[in-house]
A and B are shown apart, each in its own frame.
Chain A
């Protein structure tokens, strides 16, 4: 399914400056895998050592956090947007 992945500024040095990446995937997981296959340096920033999406990275399908959609196995349809947004936490707190 052709979908668009929106890349935050901080990640763009791994995507050759591209703010958006087109890909074809049936699920969010596939979309992320396609993204990191294409830009391997991004991989460790998207998933942790256990292969889970990193704790301080939020992933949205259109307007919704994917955790409310069953996680990264949620299905994509043509024209969907996948957003990567670093979580803004306060530190040491």
Chain B
């Protein structure tokens, strides 16, 4: 076998080769992609990356890709923004924002997971791909399916933000709106994957899909000069991303590409849908599912499939989970835009807002290196903040009109006095 990976049961350890399946048929626990790191260490070197483009494919050997895989678009490779103004405001010396709001092609980190999922879909000869989605994933599936010639059929809650629906429809994907929340949609998709021969990226292709998230973590380490941060703050919906960033860091240590060090993982949720942060805070053995009620609809998963793993990771790393209210989310979106020039969607507002809270709780310390993961673009959730910015009255195209406007705005006669 030339491939260095296969599916393995997370709980019982049984291996399943490579196939479109997401749970162990022996014990019905989740499957993950397991790698032969001894072989990998011989064939992949950090030095070889220098000659490659800065996108997620520079880490191809660490992803579950077929031998004949050819990258069809430059996904990932997003900026790690060193914060100045917010860092100063919060009293932090080393604060960074990993900005997947500008991930190619559909402006969220979901482009990464879809990229690895569609590589698997091609390998397993699916012609139709799809997903259950709170919006961003549907955008990413629709965009990359269009580019790569798959038929796309995506399933979404009926009440999604119009911009997210439009950003899927424009690529020609079939959109099935479901009367229900994401958890209803997800359950239906599990049943559809059971019945139809489709490649549902976050259902039967999920082990391959979720590996794409690791590239967010690889990039963070590389952009920090091949070093791990002290803290990572990650938004949580299903709870997958935070655990995959941890896996990425572990792999880099195993390969000897970064020095081992303890990293604290902090999870961020909206208070209106916070089963994972609630589980961490109350130290629950099992999280309690919730009915989502928040403007952060991309994080509105009340029954997070990876919640148990996320809770375990957060606790074992010495991190914490927090949640913020809808008004705090809106404030944090504005704060990030005004200070760092980053316009994020509601999920990013959650992450930024939670970071502020964690700093206030002294869980994030001034001298530590902290990376905040921004995973989606503000242009997709303008509805959430539109009320904050009512349209101003138009003025005549004349200088005196502008002077009068300025006087009215500033409450002075400074502008007209200049005449």
Contact = CB atoms under 8 A, between A and B. Distances in A.
A55 B210 contact: no
B269 to A, nearest CB: 17
Contacts of A10: 23, 25, 28, 194
Contacts of B23: 10, 56, 86-89
Contacts of A93: 32, 210, 239-240, 242-244, 246-247, 306, 309-310, 313
Given A9-B194, A65-B183, A86-B190, A92 B28 contact: no
Contact of B306 (A63, A85, A89): A89
A58 interface: yes
Contact of B29 (A56, A65, A83): A56
Contacts of A92: 10, 32-34, 243, 247, 309
Contacts of A85: 187, 190-191
Nearest to B305: A89
A20 interface: no
Interface string A51-93: 0001111101001010110000000000000010111111111
Interface in A1-57: 8-10, 45, 54-57
Contacts of B239: 93
20 contacts: A9-B194, A10-B23, A54-B28, A58-B303, A60-B187, A63-B180, A63-B184, A67-B289, A87-B30, A88-B202, A89-B306, A90-B209, A90-B210, A92-B34, A92-B243, A92-B309, A93-B239, A93-B240, A93-B242, A93-B246
Best-surrounded residue of A10, A45, A68, A90 (most CB of chain B within 10 A):
A90
B238 to A, nearest CB: 7
Contact of A87 (B240, B305, B313): B305
A36 to B, nearest CB: 14
B368 interface: no
A90 B206 contact: yes
A44 B191 CA distance: 22
Contacts of B210: 90-91, 93
Given A10-B25, A63-B184, A90 B190 contact: no
Given A10-B23, A88-B190, A88-B203, A55 B286 contact: yes
A90 B240 contact: yes
B228 interface: no
A87 B244 CA distance: 18
Contacts of B114: none
A8 B27 CA distance: 14
B289 A65 contact: yes
Nearest to B242: A93
B191 A90 contact: no
Contacts of A83: 187
A91 B6 CA distance: 12
Contacts of A56: 23, 28-30
* 7 interchain residue pairs of minimum CB distance: A91-B32, A93-B243, A90-B210, A92-B32, A89-B30, A89-B305, A90-B240
A91 B289 contact: no
B28 A88 contact: no
A86 B161 CA distance: 29
Best-surrounded residue of B28, B31, B247 (most CB of chain A within 10 A):
B28
A9 B25 CA distance: 10
B298 interface: no
A92 B309 CA distance: 8
Interface in B1-44: 10, 22-23, 25, 27-34
Contacts of A54: 28
Contacts of A91: 10, 30-33, 206-207, 210
A54 B186 CA distance: 19
Given A10-B25, A67-B289, A68-B291, A90 B30 contact: yes
